[in-house]
Amino acid sequence: MPLQTAIIRTILERGGLITFGSNVQNGTPMITTATGDNIVENNYVKVTLTANAGNNTIDLTRVANDSNASNAVNIRTIDALATIGAITVPGYIYTGDFSGCVFYLYKTGPHEVTGVHAYSGSQPITKRTGVLRRKVIVQEVREYGPSDFYLRTNGGTQLCRYPTRGELNVQNGEISLGFLSCVDVNTATTFLFAVAGSPQGSRVRRLLKTYHVRF
């Protein structure tokens, strides 16, 4: 089916609601197959994404890990890792809980694109300082990006990199940022938006940026 990119844009511009539909698959475990890398790990669930302009909602309903009905993935974040999830195009990649992390898209197969939620945050780093070169522990911002992994394994081509540091406005009631990428056969339209908490899901507070890439 054609992607619902225009409808999704309208819903995000109108401050719509992102819901995470409950169904019998709620007990399905995350897909966490190892990559053999210390930093890059699969960590996602399969979902079906539907967008409804009439009720101003985007719904992500979880399905079984072996389901062929999904058209999207929901990538979950883990501290000090780059978490990934792949889709067969055309399809959607969603990932939330950004407050400074970085989003990537990689072309990882003839009909496959992988989304990356790369953790970027303050981490303790040991350094030597002063004349005596004493060890001290300082906090530095570090990005756990996937570039070395894909270069080393020749496993994919980077399509884009979208950082978020400094974009979140907590004074405006925003609790996190999210990305929703609508990936077609050779194009991707990616939305960056801020959300607030809601009993029904995540309420969009503002659409920050819309990115386009061809590949």
Question: Would you kindly state where each structural domain of the chain is located, as residue ranges?
Answer: 5-119+145-214
pLDDT at 157 over 50: yes
Q: What is the average pLDDT value for the chain, to the nearest integer?
A: 93
Among 32-46, 114-128, 154-168, 201-215, the least confident range: 114-128
Percent of the chain exceeding pLDDT 70 equals: 95
Using alpha carbons, list the distances in angstroms from residue 151 to 108, 112, 161: 12, 17, 15
Mean pLDDT of 143-170: 97
> Which token pair is 33?
């197959």
The residue to which tokens 């959607």 are assigned: 92
Give the model confidence (pLDDT) of 28-68 as tens digits: 789 999 999 999 999 999 999 999 999 999 999 999 999 88
**pLDDT value, residue 135:** 74
Mean pLDDT of 190-205: 96
**pLDDT value, residue 128:** 73
DSSP 8-state code for residue 28: P
> Which token pair is 204?
């969009």
pLDDT at 74 over 90: yes
Q: Give the span between the Cα atoms of 36 and 210, in whole angstroms.
A: 33
pTM given for the model: 0.92
Before 90, cis peptide (omega within 30)? yes
pLDDT at 7 over 90: yes
Main-chain dihedrals φ then ψ at residue 137, nearest 5 degrees: -105, 125
pLDDT band at 112; cut points 50, 70, 90: very high
Element (H, E) at 6: helix 5-13
**pLDDT value, residue 24:** 45
Strand bridging mode 157-163 / 102-109: antiparallel
Sheet containing 82-88, strands listed edge to edge, beginning at the edge strand earlier in sequence: 40-42, 82-88, 112-118, 102-109, 157-163
